[in-house]
Structure 1
Amino acid sequence: MTLALDAAAQDLLFREARTANTFTDEPVTDEQVQAIYDLVKFGPTAMNAQPLRVVLVRTPEARERLVNLMSDGNKEKTASAPLVAILAVDNEFHEELPTQFPHFPGAKDMLSDRAGREPMAAMNAALQAGYFIIGVRAAGLAAGPMAGYDAAGIDKEFFGDGEHTVLAVVNIGKPGENAWFPRGPRLAYDEVVTTV
């Protein structure tokens, strides 16, 4: 055995896990979301930065505001999912970091400039978004991450401070009827991995 995870865990997190397009009406609780976050917050990022911010869309009013900003193909999925999370990048994430970086020379200078900070924020938040989706799967739920939306509209409607940038909208819940599209192909090892 070359992996530490058993086959059932591998299936749960990767092989059998799919992007859900329909969901049951079983609610997703705050306790489930907290358990997901409390697990995935330990995922590695550069300088231990944590620029991901998550907005849980629970009220009917907020759901309607979000649905109106989704592309046509995503409106119904977003309207009917038990829970929708807006994943965003906090471009001012450095304010939450310690003031001293003994292991990261030059960090203070890099982080003081927003133009230098934004690429780091985007990369680390994308890593955290991936961990979040795996965490949703680890909780026995399905995630439906989407990028079809009016990004400027979501930034204005749900943040409005100019400091946050939407990264993805994720529908969360138990998969419903006909939840899966056919699985798309994946590149083979030899098409991706080279050795130098």
Structure 2
Amino acid sequence: MTKQFHGNVLSDAALDQLFNEARSYNGWLDKAVSDEQLHAIWDLMKMAPTSANMQPVRIVWVKSDEEKNRLAECAMDANQPKIRSAPATAIIGYDIDFHEELPWLFPHTDAKSWFEGDEEGRKEGAFRNSSLQGAYLMLAARAIGLDCGPMSGFDADKVNAAFFADAPRHRVNFICSVGYGDPESIFDRSPRPDFDRFNRIV
């Protein structure tokens, strides 16, 4: 695939690791994920683009058995064992008041003033850009050799109350377990559409 393009294209092996052969896992091998690996994920994902470098994502990494159980109790039945068995699960949240950080995150202009007095606009921007950052998190995890299991089957109000009570302006977007995926836990890959089905060039 990569030989048909010019420029610094990733190798086929790298593309397979990030996309073509990567899967969403439902179960995990009994192998720990270190805090150093979580820091490495952050150090990669923070470099990817967000609007005005707003960086609205706020992540709680759940690793202890006690906190895994607390998070699992906020999830639908089918997701509870996925959370409990994962070495770590990221609660990917966002800060409604991300604009307070813009004076140092985007010092080129008075970007904070763009968002003051517009909470609904901030919520929209924070949700959109934290969604991007959640996707970057998954790619970063795959890039350092981990697997991912993103989930949206949970009670957001319960997650917010359990994990963001000390930061009431933070809200959960989605959650994503990371670790070493158990190959026995995945289904056959679901169909993927050809370009022409969902794309048009105008």
TM-score bracket, normalised by the shorter chain, equals: over 0.9
Measure the CA separation in 2 of the matches of 1:100 and 1:43: 13
Matched to 1:36, the amino acid is I
Matched to 1:194, the amino acid is R
Cα displacement string for residues 111-134 of structure 1 (whole angstroms, at most 9, x for unaligned residues): 442122110111110000000000
Partner of 1:93: 98
Cα displacement string for residues 79-137 of structure 1 (whole angstroms, at most 9, x for unaligned residues): 11111111111111111111796867876143442122110111110000000000111
Question: 1:31-46, aligned counterparts within 5 Å?
Answer: 31-46=36-51
TM-score by length of 1: 0.93
Partner of 2:13: 8
Partner of 1:114: 119
- Partner of 2:191, secondary structure, is coil
Measure the CA separation in 1 of the matches of 2:141 and 2:181: 12
Aligned with residue 166 of structure 1, among 166, 172, 193: 172
Cα displacement string for residues 22-41 of structure 1 (whole angstroms, at most 9, x for unaligned residues): 11111000111111111111
Partner of 1:129: 134
The question of whether the paired residues in 2 share the 8 Å contact of 1:90 and 1:165 is answered with: yes
Aligned residue pair count: 196
Partner of 2:200: 194
Runs of at least 5 residues in structure 1 that lack an aligned partner in the other structure: none
Structure 1 pair 4–72 and aligned structure 2 pair: CA distance change class (3 A): same
Matched to 1:184, the amino acid is S
Displacement, 1:167? 1.0
TM-score by length of 2: 0.90
Aligned with residue 82 of structure 1, among 72, 83, 87: 87
Cα RMSD (Å) = 1.9
2:33 counterpart of 1:28: yes
Structure 1 pair 115–99 and aligned structure 2 pair: CA distance change class (3 A): farther
Runs of at least 5 residues in structure 2 that lack an aligned partner in the other structure: none
Structure 1 pair 69–107 and aligned structure 2 pair: CA distance change class (3 A): same
Measure the CA separation in 2 of the matches of 1:62 and 1:47: 34
2:189 counterpart of 1:175: no
